[in-house]
A and B are shown apart, each in its own frame.
Chain A
Amino acid sequence: MSMAEQQKKLLQGNEALARGVVESGCVVATSYPGTPASEILGAVMVWQQQEEVAMHLEWAVNEKVAFEIAYTASQTGLRAMTAMKQVGLNVASDPLMSAAYLGVVGGFVVVSADDPGPHSSQTEQDSRLMAMLAKIPVLDPDSPAQARELAGLAFQLSERFSIPVMLRPTTRVCHACQDIALLPVERLNRVAAFEKNPSRWAATPKFRYQLHLELNRKLAEIAAYEPSAPRRLNPQTESRLAVVASGPAASYLKETLSDLDLWERLSCYQVIQPYPLHSAFAGELLEKHDRILVLEETYGVIEMQLRDRYKVQGKLSGAVPEAGELLPEIVERIVADFAGLPAAAQTPAPAAGGRRPTLCPGCPHRASFYAIKKAAPKGIYPSDIGCYTLGINLGGVDTVLCMGASISQAAGFYQAYRVTGQQRDIIATIGDSTFFHAGMPPLIDAVAQGARFVLVILDNVTTAMTGNQPTPAHGTPAGRPVEIESIVRGCGVGFVKSADPLDLPGFTALLKEAVNFSHDRGVAVVIAKSPCLVDRSVPRPKRSQPKVDEGCVGCKVCTERFECPALVFDEATKTVSVDTMICSGCGVCLEVCPVGAIKREVGA
């Protein structure tokens, strides 16, 4: 075994990407968590400690702030990175568009992780199109190893052309793991040195026009930059048929070519930089080949830059599905068809079924939703982005739009009904991290506009869905914790009370009080305070598990309306029992059971 092999480590795509960032001498990195990008900043923190590099790392309050802090570090000459998921980039799109015009000093890399499928996102949007809109180059890795490699190339490109560079991994890169050898960390030893230049950094519209011309010149040069040019996968093959692939689709293509024995029949190229597509490559491709198949995720970004609709097949031509993940079996079928092979044996269909995601056993959100439905049975329930979106299973979530929209939608419902002479009970739910992220402006708006609704802030003191990242309520060693209750009061809300939803009767009574307040006095805020059970930083309470006695009448209120996965209905006996493997002992079901058949042994 060689030295290099001995040093190989199993790295997740996000860890590999983070390694590439740290190896490139980046010293400021910021992020807001979102699947599939959530592990990037945590991994940077690990590498920073192991390598003892002085860095500023932060979980920012949202993606816009994360972007602006990292971008400013680049203005001072340092290398900086910001990481988010694709819908997070929507939030940061304002500074992105402007930063593209202003350019950078130190290398500045924007990681935006896409989620074709989607597995854990509101949309399948393609961040490469956002790069195109902003007019910045974007790199598209096919694997964890390539994510690490392209992080280095991204910094190099960014400094060479003074431009922000996007690195766009997808879920299959972020959440793949691979054996990777670590490389030494580049220590640039730069010091922050901001050079004032108001005509650039604070450019007025007249100068922005000049900057736009400059940006276009940069893009033309980047489209001829050799290190990011498309890679020929089989230079020995000369075919009239060509396949162009990028991202994970390129890795599926490589395996398909081997399995179908097509390496010598199709000319294959891997695009590393989908935008701007290298102009010489695009020209030669169209000249040398009669038919060209493009495989990419999620939109036809490379395809649309190849200006020949007769030769080029892809998403726009209908040869490749325009929605959903481009799975390896789909790539195999498309490539076989393109090469003129007989239809491959039908892929066996997966069995239907499975189980829907659900709130964890003992999750305090379940109790909150149960109480909300008791307090306003005919209410409208706008909700937000987080684990608690799963309150949909309890009928406690009617709308989910985007981060922070629960509050604006509650106000929107109130105003829509009011202006047509009606009033409805409205109870909105938002998590603590989401409230910090985007909840304050709509709350201020609602108070100022006289909207009337109840807002329940589900405060489990963590960003649970993405792996328990800290929120501003934790503060940092150098800073101070920020309290939600004081923010809410500061926004001018007249009713602010906190309680633990695991006390179901008490919490339900408090919600009824809040609903009554909201009828004629404005916004009422209830903070549901109870820690997340999967947060390892919080000690797990030791609680005895309840038992279901013979009084159970099989009414299914606890399994269907309360929907606790630790309560199991047995079709044979028509009664419920406790799944002792997963019950957390929260005991809320004792209050939920209409006949009092769920009991906890006293003193147990």
Chain B
Amino acid sequence: MNRQQLMICGVGGQGILFITRLLAETAIAKGLAVLTSETHGMAQRGGIVVSHLKVGGFASPLVRPGQADVLLSLKPETVALHLHFLKEGGFVASNAREIPAPAAGHPSACIDADTLALSLGDPQSVNLIVLGCLLARPGRLFCSAEEVVDVIRRKMAGKETALARALEAFRAGLEQAKENGIPC
């Protein structure tokens, strides 16, 4: 799968830019062209933040409505706001106790990342937990969990404590998704 369009959404402060860039750098490591679009400025102050990520040969960084392969949401309420970007049969991964109602009709997975992050003692790790959940099933994204781990290691080299926490969160999301049964 060498061409994919993703939407990543949540609210300011949840680390949406971090996982967007992590996936974009994973694409580059695989030799794939990549374009992303980010939210900055006033909207970041507790407002809705959304990133577009396009892997493969694209000219523009924006995903058009009805074109996204995957919607990754760090706040349940943002699923409804960005669902129109998803194509028919597109996948929804969300940080929620149960699959948000608007995602009905789409293949989806959810994980209670808030609770898991608190139990890990790192409330800031929600983003990596949900990403881990999304990558629990091989073939869903243009990259594998191992490829993402390699990039996390490279990105955070020299910051050993932060690296260990990031890997722990990512793996916790991955493991819990597998325990819950891998969604199809």
Contacts and interface: CB of A to CB of B under 8 A. Distances in A.
A120 B47 contact: no
B23 to A, nearest CB: 10
- Counting chain A CB atoms within 10 Å of each CB, the highest count among B43, B60, B80, B83 belongs to B60
B40 A255 contact: no
A175 B45 contact: no
Interface stretch (A88-96, A327-335, A406-414, A549-557): A327-335
Interface in B1-30: 11-13, 20-21, 24-25, 27-28
Contacts of B59: 142-143, 251-252, 254-255
Q: Interface on chain A toward B: helix, strand, loop, or mixed SS?
A: loop
B178 to A, nearest CB: 25
A79 interface: no
Contacts of B44: 357
Nearest to B26: A10
B20 to A, nearest CB: 8
B164 interface: no
A356 interface: yes
Interface residues of B, number: 46
Interface in A21-41: 35-36, 38
Interface residues of A, number: 52
B39 A356 contact: no
B123 A357 contact: no
Interface stretch (B62-70, B104-112, B132-140, B165-173): B62-70
Nearest to B35: A178
A348 B66 contact: yes
- Counting chain B CB atoms within 10 Å of each CB, the highest count among A248, A353, A355 belongs to A355
Interface string A372-413: 000000000000000101100000000000000000000000
Given A8-B28, A357-B43, A581-B118, A172 B37 contact: yes
A329 B62 CA distance: 10
Interface in B39-82: 39-48, 58-62, 64-66, 77-78, 80-82
Contact of A351 (B13, B66, B84, B123): B84
A415 interface: no
Contacts of A466: 41
A350 B82 contact: yes
Given A35-B41, A357-B45, A252 B60 contact: yes
Contacts of B38: 12, 175-177
B41 A36 contact: yes
B143 interface: no
A35 B40 contact: yes
Contacts of A350: 65, 81-82, 84
Contacts of B78: 354
Contacts of B31: 1, 5
Contacts of B61: 143, 172, 176-178, 251
A565 B77 CA distance: 15
- Counting chain A CB atoms within 10 Å of each CB, the highest count among B34, B45, B118 belongs to B45
A348 B24 CA distance: 27
B35 A581 contact: no
B28 A177 contact: no
A549 B48 CA distance: 31
27 contacts: A10-B21, A120-B41, A120-B42, A120-B43, A142-B59, A142-B60, A143-B35, A172-B61, A172-B62, A176-B35, A176-B36, A177-B24, A178-B34, A248-B62, A251-B60, A254-B59, A327-B64, A347-B65, A347-B84, A349-B84, A350-B82, A350-B84, A353-B77, A353-B80, A357-B12, A387-B42, A581-B118
Interface of B: 11-13, 20-21, 24-25, 27-28, 31, 33-48, 58-62, 64-66, 77-78, 80-84, 102, 114, 117-118, 123
Nearest 6 pairs of A and B residues by beta carbon: A120-B41, A35-B41, A357-B47, A251-B60, A176-B61, A254-B59
Interface of A: 1, 5, 8-10, 12, 35-36, 38, 119-120, 142-143, 172, 175-179, 248, 251-252, 254-255, 327-329, 332, 345, 347-351, 353-360, 387, 389-390, 465-467, 565, 580-582
Given A172-B37, A356-B47, 9 more contacts: A119-B41, A176-B36, A176-B38, A349-B84, A350-B84, A351-B84, A353-B80, A357-B47, A360-B13
